[in-house]
Amino acid sequence: MSGVAGLRRQLGGFDATTVGIGSMIGAGVFVVFAPAAAAAGSWLPLAILIAGFVAYCNATASAQLARVYPTSGGTYIYGRERLGPWTGFIAGWSFITGKTASCAAMALTFGLYAFPGYETAAAIAAVVLLTAVNLTGITRTALASRIIVSFVFAILAFLVVVAFNPADAAPVEALQPGPGWGVLQAAALVFFAFAGYARIATMGEEVRNPRRNIPLAIGAALAVVLVLYLLLGLGLMNALGARLPGTTTPLLAVAENVGGSVGTFTVTAAAALATLGALLALIAGVGRTSLAMARHGDLPRSLSRIGSKFAVPFVADIAVAVAVIVLLLTTDVLTVIGFSSFAVLIYYAVTNISALTLSERPWYWPRALNLVGLAGCLLLAFTLPPIPVLVMLAILLAGLVGRAVVPRKQDS
Domains and their CATH numbers in the chain: 13-405 (1.20.1740.10)
Q: CA 234, CA 14: separation in Å to the nearest integer?
A: 29
Q: CA 177, CA 41: separation in Å to the nearest integer?
A: 5
**What is the pTM for the complete model shown?**
0.82
Of 22, 50, 95, the C-alpha closest to 345 is 95
CB 87 within 8 A of CB 352: no
Contacts of 252 (CB under 8 A, 6+ apart): 264, 267, 268
- Tens place of pLDDT per residue across the chain (412 aa): 444 455 566 566 677 787 778 777 877 788 889 888 988 999 999 999 999 999 989 988 988 887 788 776 678 889 999 999 999 999 999 989 998 998 998 898 888 878 888 989 999 999 999 888 878 765 555 666 677 777 888 888 888 988 888 766 566 787 887 777 889 989 998 998 887 776 676 566 667 777 677 778 888 888 889 999 999 999 999 988 888 988 877 888 888 766 667 778 888 888 888 888 778 778 877 887 788 788 778 888 777 778 656 567 778 888 889 999 999 999 887 788 889 989 999 999 999 999 999 988 878 789 999 999 999 999 999 998 888 899 999 999 999 998 888 766 554 4
Give the torsion sign (CA, 8, 10, 13, 14): negative
Give the torsion sign (CA, 208, 210, 214, 216): negative
Q: CA 235, CA 402: separation in Å to the nearest integer?
A: 48
Beta bridge partners of 207: 11
How many of the other CB atoms lie within 10 Å of CB of 285?
27
Burial of 353 from C-beta contacts in 10 A (0-12 / 13-18 / 19+): buried
Of 104, 79, 132, the C-alpha closest to 26 is 104
Of 324, 265, 340, 291, the C-alpha closest to 129 is 324
Q: CA 122, CA 18: separation in Å to the nearest integer?
A: 25
Beta bridge partners of 177: 41
